[in-house]
Chains A and B, each alone.
Chain A
Amino acid sequence: MSPALASRFFTTSATWKTRTVNFITHDDKILRERFCHQSPHGNLFGVQVQYKHLIELLKRTAIHGESNSILIIGPRGSGKTMLINHALKELMEIEGVSENILQVHLNGLLQINDKIALKEITRQLNLENVVGDKVFGSFAENLSFLLEALKKGDRTSSCPVIFILDEFDLFAHHKNQTLLYNLLDISQSAQTPVVIIGLTCRLDILELLEKRVKSRFSHRQIHLMNSFSFPQYLKIFKEQLSLPSVFPEEIFAEKWNENVQSLSEDRSVKEVLQKHFNVSKNLRSLHMLLMLALNRVTPSHPFITAADLMEANQLCSMDSKGNIVHGLSVLEICLIIAMKHLNDIYEEEPFNFQMVYNEFQKFVQRKAHSVYNFEKPVVMKAFEHLQQLELIRPMERTSVNAQREYQLMKLLLDNTQIMNALQKYPNCPTDVRQWATSSLSWL
């Protein structure tokens, strides 16, 4: 359904219009939630085998009291957390399981050392040394208390504990890997049934584990690799953008879904998606793209169009530094060009302000009419501004008494970036542009 059609459809009735606003805010909400939260309600794509492996494992722990350990490995955005959330959701729906299972969620970014992690585990298990939200006792006491607690349990009578360690690799950096050793040791001994689930994006995770820790790990690994092809990607795109059938206004949902269907068949949309797919198979980046497109939906523009997607894609693939260069003054551009020439001449050797200034002076002397001959302090200021923008970077740290003119710098821009930025730079003096293309032009 084209935008024109849509507008005609909706303008037939004024009330329609107000209601559309509601639908749009509603569908906005649904989709935004889908894109921004890792809700366990979404569908899983292409990970059925892995899912089955995980859910069977969890079930065995929950029902048979079998201890296990498993790693879920996959690049960022490949759906590791979604997989585990799905599995946990399904597990909890099994009768009699939800009240017979304890979950402990840890994140390597939050529990940055074993002490904090132990407190958190104890807190989440709600052991008896927890009062309110506080865990009492020293690190050593907490450790022995927790170990004692877990040791007392046995396969048949204790509540199984599911440990979920997000950013598992960070736990491997803890001192002596005490936490991992102990958790994995429990999973390998006749104590409270536990299942240790590690989520990580590092493929070399096993190399991080100490040998005795590694030996206690069961070496079960689930790899999530985004192993879908473009047709599947297209399908995911469609599914992600479609509204659920329970949407309050069915007609609108139908129209919306029709539009999504037609979008997925549109050639330019396919091109955009293909381009996006080539850059990243990550579903999160797809969500980003769709989010940007979704932001353009308004009551007067109720459906996503191919143009929206193209624009969103442009936003996604924008070069951030190129954009910064756009906002520079002519003087600063000149300095960057001077640096570029210096790089060409000295083959990426670092330069200092004086060299850049000299180069700039040479250009100004030649083409005095095109660029105003700024005084040295002004040029210095511009130079410092570039440094603040991190377009140039000092080689070593700035010391207080170092002469700033002679501090060695490196340019953090690529030649192509500079040239591209210059092309788009508004009102760039021709001489400057010429100077940029050839350092010898002044000869």
Chain B
Amino acid sequence: MMAAARWRVYVVRPLLRWAGRKVWLLTDYGDTLGAGLQRLARNFLFSTFFPFLVRLPFRRLCEPGSCKKSPPGAGRFAAVPRALEAGTLEGGLRPSPASFGARYSQYLYLGPISCKEKYSFQLPEQYREMSMKREGYSTEIHIQVGQFVLIEGDDDENPYVAKLVELFEDDSELYSKKRARVQWFIRFCEVPVCKQHLLGRKPGTQEIFWYDNPTCNSNISVETIIGSVRVVALAPDEVMPIDLKNKKTFFVKLSWNEKKFKPLPPEVFAQLNKLQEDNHRYQKPMQAKTKSAESPSWTTTEHAVKRIESRHSTSKSRHTASHPVTPRARKRLELSSFPRTPNTRISPAASCASLDSPGRMKRKVAFSEVMSPSKRSLPDGFQTSSPALKAPEKTGEIQHSCTKDAKKTSPDHGMILRARAPALKITETSEERTLTPIGGGRKSSVVPSVILKPEYIKRREGKEPEVQDEAPSTSRIRRKSSVLTLNRIRQQLRFLGNSKSDENDEEFLPAAEISDCDSEEEEASTTPLPRRTPNSVSRNLRSSMKSSLQTPSKTPKKTPEPRTPRDATPRIRSRNLTAQGPTNMLEEARLRLHVAAVPESLPCREQEFQDIYNFVESKLLDQTGGCMYISGVPGTGKTATVHEVICCLQQAAQANEVPPFQYIEVNGMKLTEPHQVYVQILQKLTGKRATANHAAALLAKRFCTQGSSQETTVLLVDELDLLWTQKQDVMYNLFDWPTHKEARLVVLTIANTMDLPERIMMNRVSSRLGLTRMCFQPYTHSQLRQILLSRLRHVKAFEDDAIQLVARKVAALSGDARRCLDICRRATEICEFSCQKPDSPGLVTTAHLLEAIDEMFSSSYITAIKNSSFLEQSFLRAILAEFRRSGLEEATFQQVYIQHVALCRMEGLPYPTMSETMAVCSRLGACRLLLVEPSRNDVLRRVRLNVSQDDVLYALKEE
């Protein structure tokens, strides 16, 4: 391997998020090849992609002697490449959870690491194979490392798919000692809805994606493994086989890195194919054609890189061996915890190199990237481009995390520190001793956000204590030493004592990653998504996965809005004291009279019910689509009737009388913006989330393309007028979709105005709406009475006359059934208040109802005037007098004031000062007895009465 590969390139990322640019670290073998790398870098990389690239001579690191000579940290460091060489390092470096503000990292490797005895690392035992025996089954299933497994998640139908990378036992784990490390695959349905369109095609039924997210926890409990499964890798140009009966076969063609779908990196592809071949239990369905199948869209850099890589396919495949995904079940938790990937990772080799070749490296490997932007270009082909150091929004955080890194004292750090500042050595060593395999107990309270999140977790899942232990911290090695930083680190080390983490997060990336654009990187970094299993093992143990983290593109986040607690369930706290039921007749009546109470049937809307029912039913039976417009003033039962129709139809569908259909309801008033309607429809239709534009596209695709939907969709659009936009595109789409034969969409629209289509819609929109209209007339008094009677069927709480009265009153006012019910409800309360015996209140009489009606509908202006102060009343009089004088209905305050002063003088009142009168005027204006101009006009503000002059006179005369 070594011989074949003259050098290999790793891109190591802790890529500083700093300045929105990444810092790349390339490591290579052999000093002699430095020039070649330089050339490569100069030609392809530096200029375009790498703001910051560091090359490390690998061999130096690998020399056994270097380990001995160098302090412990360096030894461990050196072990990594050695393990890599030996081919035993599964994943030497892996990211650890970290917040975006503070990160720490760890690395730990499994396998023959010479210096492991030196350190108190608890190395797990490893296994080659596991066997499962399920209850009720006699056969044992043997699953070997390297096979693909199903892992139980929150969805029983679709368990997670992963590749078993390693099996080991971990004593440090509290709950399940048998652990497995896996490389995750992701199903299309697990891809965030808003990102699904990135695929650009329909996913195959059994298609899965290589999940290229190093931040995802790959350490799982063996118990979660359900069974084995077969995964077939397909070359990009291969057709997705659809006819395969075997549900247990998945196809992987692309990788998903939270940002985009990419063709499988060749090394991954090769590795998968190899596994496939090895897997004697399954026959290979369609052999991948060539490994070299690469999409032409790949950049030259990628090509170059790939070429480089292809020489080391073995090692590379190792690197891509697995990839951490956590089953969904855990996602929630993880969301709230810290990202396990520090954005900055550094190869141990890099730091080693800096030690070993100080002259060449110029001591650049340091923590001080952040602080010393001035050092941007270095001799010897090491480039730090200034953009990398430009402060992004996150600067503060990064600096913070940088300092934190230091505290967290990765061994690497320690080593570098020692190299540079021997005085630190002791601190460092002692720290190392304190490292425990379990990352628990580390709580960083340095960054506020860090504190927040664990609390949040606690609140949500109190049962998972480990989560909080996994405090975020990161260590990053910063290049470019500056004395300043060093001092700071030293201080922090001193300060930190034993409390920080030992782990250093490291990750090797294949050069392919180079093609990642910085902006993406930045975006990802600002919102890193933590994912972690609840009972996660110490990070040390998990670190064997590190090599798997190099996939062409990496994103530390899985959901598009990682900081959002996406999976938060919308729910109101439940009460622990159950609500009391009604205790007497009146309460019973009140309960039934509540608008929310669902009546057994909707009286008085039989005709409308039948019409709508027939309409929808016929569309269902014909398997076509159509639109219907329902209008009516508020409170006439439009929505209730449609709900009832749907309810009946759903029952009919269950009885197989009509074809099954899907029912969706949207309400224009419950949207923040008309285009949000697409989002809601899509979400209710498919459960996916998408942006408005994307949702519109998806819906259009769904409704307008052949044979896409299996069953009819019934869409109820309430408060249609709110969906009006300047271009009317929302309405147009809503009415246009049903016209497509394939859409099989029935749109029922509800609005208040009868002539809405004519009034606000363009011709092309109203034409599509069609002429299926229905108008709900306001309820007549007999209908209202019937409604009340039907609700009070078995409850004798009202006098007949009272019901008659309220029905007539409301019918005369508005015909709004809600009003009717509210009045009756209020009347029961009044009845209850006025009743002497609380146990057996009498019937609600007309008197009670009249009182309720009076309370609800009587204008309060007159009472307000009657109860206003004397000066306020006389001001009103002055207004009337001024109006009479001028013959106008409006006067300036000054004019009224003159009248007011005269009035007061006549009545022998003390002279009202201007300020007092102004205050009076403002008070009257505030309760809208007067309409006054804004007060900046001062005495010139115009005053108008908001009540009729007769009312004012009447109210004032009463006195």
Instruction: For A158, list chain B residues within 8 Å (CB).
Output: 572-575
- Nearest chain B residue, comparing its CB with the CB of A115: B672
A192-B452 in contact (CB<8A): no
- Nearest chain B residue, comparing its CB with the CB of A207: B928
Q: Which of A169-220 contact B (CB under 8 A)?
A: 176, 178, 181-182, 185, 188-193, 201-204, 211-212, 214-216, 218-220
Instruction: For B826, list chain A residues within 8 Å (CB).
Output: 218, 220
Instruction: For B818, list chain A residues within 8 Å (CB).
Output: 188, 215-216
**What is the minimal beta-carbon distance from B240 to any residue of chain A, in angstroms?**
34
A100-B939 in contact (CB<8A): no
Does any Cβ of B come within 8 Å of A247's Cβ? no
Instruction: For A128, list chain B residues within 8 Å (CB).
Output: 460, 565, 568-571
A176-B669 in contact (CB<8A): yes
Instruction: For B857, list chain A residues within 8 Å (CB).
Output: 219
**What is the minimal beta-carbon distance from A161 to any residue of chain B, in angstroms?**
7
1/0 per position for B365-384, CB-CB distance to A under 8 A? 00000000000000000000
B565-A131 in contact (CB<8A): yes
B672-A127 in contact (CB<8A): no
**What is the minimal beta-carbon distance from A345 to any residue of chain B, in angstroms?**
17
B564 in complex: contacting residue of A99, A136, A159, CB < 8 Å: A136
Q: Please measure, in the bound complex, the distance between the C-alpha atom of A192 and the C-alpha atom of B833, giving whole angstroms.
A: 26
Residues of B in contact, count (CB < 8 Å): 93
**What is the minimal beta-carbon distance from B722 to any residue of chain A, in angstroms?**
6
B946-A204 in contact (CB<8A): yes
Q: Please measure, in the bound complex, the distance between the C-alpha atom of A64 and the C-alpha atom of B455, giving whole angstroms.
A: 33
Task: Say yes or no: A201-B926 contact (C-beta < 8 A), given A221-B860, A317-B915.
Answer: yes
- Nearest chain A residue, comparing its CB with the CB of B898: A414
A221-B856 in contact (CB<8A): yes
- Interface segment, A65-73, A289-297, A331-339? A65-73
- Interface segment, A37-45, A137-145, A365-373? A137-145
Q: Which of B800-859 contact A (CB under 8 A)?
A: 814, 816, 818-819, 822-823, 825-826, 829, 833, 855-857
Instruction: For A277, list chain B residues within 8 Å (CB).
Output: 869-870
Instruction: For A140, list chain B residues within 8 Å (CB).
Output: 671-673, 676, 679
Instruction: For A270, list chain B residues within 8 Å (CB).
Output: none
Does any Cβ of B come within 8 Å of A279's Cβ? yes
B582-A157 in contact (CB<8A): no
Does any Cβ of B come within 8 Å of A17's Cβ? no
- Interface segment, B197-205, B261-269, B906-914? B906-914
Task: Say yes or no: A279-B920 contact (C-beta < 8 A), given A149-B572, A153-B571, A215-B819.
Answer: yes
B575-A157 in contact (CB<8A): yes
- Interface segment, A223-231, A299-307, A352-360, A428-436? A223-231
Does any Cβ of B come within 8 Å of A390's Cβ? yes
A73 in complex: contacting residue of B561, B573, B860, B867, CB < 8 Å: B860
Does any Cβ of A come within 8 Å of B294's Cβ? no
Q: Please measure, in the bound complex, the distance between the C-alpha atom of A280 and the C-alpha atom of B578, giving whole angstroms.
A: 47
Instruction: For B571, list chain A residues within 8 Å (CB).
Output: 127-128, 149, 152-153
A193-B861 in contact (CB<8A): no
Q: Which of A349-400 contact B (CB under 8 A)?
A: 390, 393
A156-B578 in contact (CB<8A): yes
Does any Cβ of B come within 8 Å of A322's Cβ? yes
Task: Say yes or no: A212-B575 contact (C-beta < 8 A), given A64-B587, A76-B926.
Answer: no
A390 in complex: contacting residue of B680, B823, B938, CB < 8 Å: B938
Q: Please measure, in the bound complex, the distance between the C-alpha atom of A200 and the C-alpha atom of B267, giving whole angstroms.
A: 69
Task: Say yes or no: A157-B915 contact (C-beta < 8 A), given A73-B860, A102-B573, A280-B923.
Answer: no
B572 in complex: contacting residue of A102, A225, A390, CB < 8 Å: A102
Instruction: For B579, list chain A residues within 8 Å (CB).
Output: 63-65, 155-157, 193
Does any Cβ of A come within 8 Å of B116's Cβ? no
Does any Cβ of B come within 8 Å of A19's Cβ? no
A63-B913 in contact (CB<8A): no
Instruction: For B870, list chain A residues within 8 Å (CB).
Output: 277-279
Q: Which of B876-904 contact A (CB under 8 A)?
A: 894, 897-898, 901
B670-A221 in contact (CB<8A): no
- Interface segment, B389-397, B590-598, B617-625? B590-598
A100-B577 in contact (CB<8A): yes
**What is the minimal beta-carbon distance from A327 to any residue of chain B, in angstroms?**
16
Instruction: For A417, list chain B residues within 8 Å (CB).
Output: 914
A202-B561 in contact (CB<8A): no
Q: Please measure, in the bound complex, the distance between the C-alpha atom of A424 and the C-alpha atom of B74, giving whole angstroms.
A: 92
Instruction: For B594, list chain A residues within 8 Å (CB).
Output: 66-67
A131 in complex: contacting residue of B456, B679, B901, CB < 8 Å: B456
Q: Please measure, in the bound complex, the distance between the C-alpha atom of A102 and the C-alpha atom of B635, giving whole angstroms.
A: 29
Does any Cβ of A come within 8 Å of B700's Cβ? no
A144 in complex: contacting residue of B460, B680, B909, B927, CB < 8 Å: B680
**What is the minimal beta-carbon distance from A402 to any residue of chain B, in angstroms?**
20
1/0 per position for B632-653, CB-CB distance to A under 8 A? 0111000000000000000000
Does any Cβ of A come within 8 Å of B792's Cβ? no
Q: Please measure, in the bound complex, the distance between the C-alpha atom of A192 and the C-alpha atom of B580, giving whole angstroms.
A: 15
Task: Say yes or no: A201-B580 contact (C-beta < 8 A), given A131-B336, A131-B453, A136-B563.
Answer: no
A279-B871 in contact (CB<8A): yes
- Nearest chain A residue, comparing its CB with the CB of B452: A132
Instruction: For A227, list chain B residues within 8 Å (CB).
Output: 863, 866-867
A414-B452 in contact (CB<8A): no
**What is the minimal beta-carbon distance from B777 to any residue of chain A, in angstroms?**
15
B909-A278 in contact (CB<8A): yes
Instruction: For B938, list chain A residues within 8 Å (CB).
Output: 390, 393, 412
Does any Cβ of B come within 8 Å of A148's Cβ? yes
Q: Please measure, in the bound complex, the distance between the C-alpha atom of A128 and the C-alpha atom of B332, giving whole angstroms.
A: 11
Q: Please measure, in the bound complex, the distance between the C-alpha atom of A66 and the C-alpha atom of B582, giving whole angstroms.
A: 11
A76-B923 in contact (CB<8A): yes
B914-A278 in contact (CB<8A): no
Task: Say yes or no: A416-B869 contact (C-beta < 8 A), given A63-B580, A181-B669, A223-B860.
Answer: no
Does any Cβ of A come within 8 Å of B940's Cβ? yes
Does any Cβ of B come within 8 Å of A150's Cβ? yes
B864-A203 in contact (CB<8A): yes
B914-A410 in contact (CB<8A): no
Does any Cβ of A come within 8 Å of B426's Cβ? no
Instruction: For B572, list chain A residues within 8 Å (CB).
Output: 102, 125, 127, 149-150, 152-153, 158-159, 161, 192
- Nearest chain A residue, comparing its CB with the CB of B456: A131
Does any Cβ of A come within 8 Å of B782's Cβ? no
Instruction: For B563, list chain A residues within 8 Å (CB).
Output: 131, 136
The residue in A139, A140, A149 that gathers the most chain B C-beta atoms within 10 A of its C-beta is: A140
A416 in complex: contacting residue of B570, B679, B901, B926, CB < 8 Å: B901
B915-A178 in contact (CB<8A): no
**What is the minimal beta-carbon distance from B668 to any residue of chain A, in angstroms?**
8
B574-A182 in contact (CB<8A): no
Instruction: For B670, list chain A residues within 8 Å (CB).
Output: 143-144, 147, 178, 181-182
- Nearest chain B residue, comparing its CB with the CB of A205: B928
Instruction: For A318, list chain B residues within 8 Å (CB).
Output: 913, 915
Does any Cβ of B come within 8 Å of A146's Cβ? yes
Q: Please measure, in the bound complex, the distance between the C-alpha atom of A281 and the C-alpha atom of B866, giving whole angstroms.
A: 12
Task: Say yes or no: A190-B597 contact (C-beta < 8 A), given A152-B570, A201-B926, A410-B940.
Answer: yes
Instruction: For A152, list chain B residues within 8 Å (CB).
Output: 570-572
- Nearest chain B residue, comparing its CB with the CB of A271: B910
Does any Cβ of B come within 8 Å of A96's Cβ? yes
1/0 per position for B466-504, CB-CB distance to A under 8 A? 000000000000000000000000000000000000000
Does any Cβ of A come within 8 Å of B171's Cβ? no
**What is the minimal beta-carbon distance from B598 to any residue of chain A, in angstroms?**
6
A189-B569 in contact (CB<8A): no
B861-A136 in contact (CB<8A): no
User: Which are the 9 A-B pairs with shortest beta-carbon distances?
Assistant: A128-B568, A215-B634, A65-B579, A149-B570, A319-B913, A148-B570, A225-B867, A136-B564, A278-B870
List 6 A-B pairs, Cβ < 8 Å: A139-B672, A143-B671, A157-B575, A182-B669, A216-B634, A219-B819
Query: 14 extra interchain contacts, Cβ-Cβ under 8 A, other than A66-B594, A176-B722, A282-B923?
Result: A115-B672, A127-B570, A128-B565, A150-B572, A155-B596, A192-B572, A203-B928, A215-B818, A215-B819, A218-B822, A227-B863, A277-B870, A279-B869, A280-B871
